[in-house]
Copies of this chain bind each other. A is one copy, B any other.
């Protein structure tokens, strides 16, 4: 069924039907005609054809979601955030009858033209999920997108871009400071993530906290080996740490997966957490309860960031006013479970 047929049934023109169905009829269409159109439309379960609308409105009702393909391909370990975000983004967009295009984005340098052209001709907006800041910035500059975009979960530190982020450095600084206040003097940090840049941000926070409290920074307490498997990283780091003559009394894992690996090794070797060693993770809610004891961790606001991204993107797409660059900060939240206790 098309708008033409519906117009015929309602004994009016397609223009009138279009106005009514798009809610733009006030003061333009006689109320009785509007009502009739609405009733007929409901009765026949009529929906405006999206291709027709797209063509004339120069809008595609599609939003692109760009993410590294490792996130898309290997949803098993540590990449849970991406799937949470994808679910939320698609559900939110669906409410406004937008659909999503998943775009794999790995080789930032080589695919600029392809990506730009693909985005430009298919989508109304773009969401970049957790890109590496130092790579997405030149890409955005080169792309010079004419459509709205938002970068989610990367602190681009430049107000001319649109991004939603958390200040991981200060989150980590605060948590390490709390550990110090509790009496810990020997605090370790284990790298869980594969991204060097992200780890550096957290390590900065760690260093700042130590230096503020005049605690000496010990390189052997930083376990930053590169390994694909975050869980295994935690497991092996635990082995290394617990073999030390004077091991740390508290550990910060930069990723929950890694924290769970740590716990698994500790359990096997009868190390008591939090009795012998306190442990704090960082990441999703998702897997944080699957260990014994349950992980105390800084919860990342991944869902909130995704939701916000859709909200502002749609506002920009549907508004006619253009938009100001947007920088929006979310905060990590401390979730106290069983591997460490704090006074808040």
Within the complex, what minimum Cβ distance (angstroms) separates A56 from chain B? 9
Chain B neighbourhood of A8, CB < 8 A: none
Q: Which of B100, B103, B113, B285 contacts A76 (CB 8 A)?
A: B285
B45 contacts A231, CB within 8 Å? no
A50 contacts B45, CB within 8 Å? no
Interface stretch (choices A117-125, A148-156, A218-226, A240-248) = A117-125
Closest to A117 in B: B45
B103 contacts A45, CB within 8 Å? no
A75 contacts B84, CB within 8 Å? yes
Check A290/B292 contact, CB under 8 A, given A55-B52, A104-B91, A117-B47.
no
Chain B neighbourhood of A91, CB < 8 A: 69, 72-73, 102, 104
Any B CB within 8 A of the CB of A239? no
Any B CB within 8 A of the CB of A90? yes
Any B CB within 8 A of the CB of A227? no
Assembly stoichiometry (copies): 2
Any B CB within 8 A of the CB of A49? yes
Within the complex, what minimum Cβ distance (angstroms) separates A263 from chain B? 8
Chain B neighbourhood of A47, CB < 8 A: 117-118, 120-122
Any B CB within 8 A of the CB of A216? no
Chain B neighbourhood of A252, CB < 8 A: none
Closest to A1 in B: B121
Any B CB within 8 A of the CB of A29? no
Residues of A within 8 A of B (CB): 45-52, 54-55, 58, 60, 62, 69, 71-73, 75-76, 80, 82-84, 86-88, 90-91, 93-94, 97, 99-104, 113-114, 116-118, 120-122, 231, 260, 263-264, 267-268, 285-287, 289-292
User: What 9 pairs between A and B have smallest CB-CB spacing?
Assistant: A51-B54, A83-B83, A45-B117, A290-B290, A47-B121, A90-B102, A99-B99, A51-B55, A99-B101
